[in-house]
A and B are shown apart, each in its own frame.
Chain A
Amino acid sequence: MSEVKYSKEHEWIKLEGDIATIGITKHATEMLGDIVFTELPEKGSNVEKDGTAGVVESTKAASDVYTPVSGEVVDLNQSIVDDPSKINQDPENSAWFFKLKIKDKSEMDTLMNKDEYDKFAKESSA
């Protein structure tokens, strides 16, 4: 069964086998406002836990996207680069950002589950 976890930088991560799908949370999109530009990491590149792995920009400002776990980028969601407004519409499903082949499953243990994240998001925006 796949498991979804959340980071303090407002990314979600879904692990299936050793492939992790990563995107940003609905809460993140609500804070950012209308997303009008997306930059993704390069396919084949290696990203490190908590390092930057892309950019999203709203009409107001640019924000880095961080990867909650380390791994090799094996797939990118080109559709959110072509039409960044898709991220606002369906952030936690079809508007995923990239997929990683992860190195160390134990990195998942440092992340929050849904209840923990919802509480964290509520507190951090209060």
Chain B
Amino acid sequence: MDTKKTSLYQLHQDSKAKFVEFAGYQMPIQYSEGIVEEHRFTRNHSGIFDVSHMGQLFIYGQEDLVDDLERIFPLDLKNLRLNHSKYSFLMSDNAGIYDDLIITKIKDGFLIILNAACKENDYKILKELLNNKYKMILDEERSLIAIQGPKSVEILKSVIQGVENLNFMSGNWFTLDDHNIYITRSGYTGEDGFEVSLNNKFAEKFTRRLINKGAKLIGLGARDTLRLEAGLCLYGHELSKDKTPVEANLKWAISKERISKGNFIGSDIITKQLNNGVSKIRVGIKPEGRIIAREKTKIYNESNLEIGEITSGTFGPSVNGPVAMGYVENEFSKKNTKIFLEVRGKKHPATICSLPFYKKSYVKGVN
């Protein structure tokens, strides 16, 4: 199968991107300045991320669509206001996660942003669950550009007036050069920022305007270090069909109102796990020293018993040290619990820590 290219491919090439194949797309992993510099630029200034490989699923319908979606997602969608967004999951009957997603109430329906690797499957699952009752468009005609970091609001405002009035996890339609653009104040880096959905034909021109205002293109490599420092899950690593939202420590994203009533896919298991606890849970892990524990690194307790596994681990440029997330047996999940990570045959000390690793106020002035 040929790998797909986003509408910014030429711009990435012109910007000397190194490419990797990701979810069937040729995506930039980094540009000439490298992951650490790109990471820092995003934290201190403003980074542009091409996330056009992600799915933009529009589902059109009225009250009955809200009812039907509430049977799928553990969200209080009846009270979700126009242009407001929620983080959620598509789950199996036993609450395994098919995908994590952002759902936004738009006029005449909902917009759901899906992971690139999951979007086709999600579409099939949702179409079936909704009995083909609604118009559903997995829109390949639109690109998705994220702009993240403290200077993003000023930069985007200078291109499109009014974006500065958006609150976190809310959006609106804007018009630029006769193009309809949907912008939400959201992102996945732990920084203030926006995600911009716009026609493929306009994507490069729009992105070049952001670059002219001082923002820089940032690759998937820095996107990964940024989201990991921010304690955010990545599908295929922290999240999978074998993990539930409760195990993934994402119960904050499940509506309390909906839990009390149940009646959504996976609600039996979720309710049971909320009441009885889970055997394994996602935690933050801080290795001592500089050792980096990558995905699949085994985790041991002080008695040398295996208690879990790392799901993501790297060097955090803003933390200036290694950071990781993983799953451990529940009894070892308390903050400050001492654990050991087996890297290249040797066991290295680490501690369970709270997430995120990076908070804005925490490192102010460090970089």
Q: Which residues of A contact B (CB under 8 A)?
A: 33-34, 36-37, 39, 55, 57-62, 81, 84-85
Contact = CB atoms under 8 A, between A and B. Distances in A.
Contact of B225 (A37, A55, A59): A59
A37 B344 CA distance: 14
Nearest to B294: A62
Given A59-B221, A59-B314, A37 B292 contact: yes
A34 B344 contact: no
Interface in B273-319: 290-292, 294, 314-315, 317
Nearest to B314: A59
Contacts of B290: 36-37, 81, 84
B186 interface: no
Q: For the complex, would chain B's binding face be called helix, strand, loop or mixed by DSSP majority?
A: mixed
A33 B221 contact: yes
Contacts, number: 39
B320 to A, nearest CB: 10
Contacts of A36: 36, 290, 292, 315
Given A60-B35, A62-B292, A62-B294, A37 B315 contact: yes
A83 B111 CA distance: 46
17 contacts: A34-B34, A34-B36, A36-B292, A37-B290, A37-B291, A37-B315, A37-B322, A39-B344, A57-B292, A57-B315, A58-B35, A59-B221, A59-B225, A60-B29, A60-B35, A81-B290, A85-B36
Nearest to B33: A34
Interface residues of B, number: 18
A106 B344 CA distance: 32
A43 to B, nearest CB: 17
B30 interface: yes
A67 B272 CA distance: 55
Interface string B207-224: 000000000000001000
A60 B37 CA distance: 14
Nearest to A52: B344
Given A34-B36, A59-B36, A60-B35, 17 more contacts: A34-B34, A36-B290, A36-B315, A37-B290, A37-B291, A37-B322, A39-B344, A57-B292, A59-B39, A59-B221, A59-B225, A59-B315, A60-B29, A60-B221, A62-B294, A81-B290, A85-B36
Question: Which one of B221, B225, B290, B294 has the greatest number of beta carbons of chain A within 10 Å?
Answer: B290
A81 B37 CA distance: 20
Interface string B239-258: 00000000000000000000
Contacts of A58: 35
Contacts of A60: 29, 35, 221
A33 B29 CA distance: 11
Contacts of A37: 290-292, 315, 322
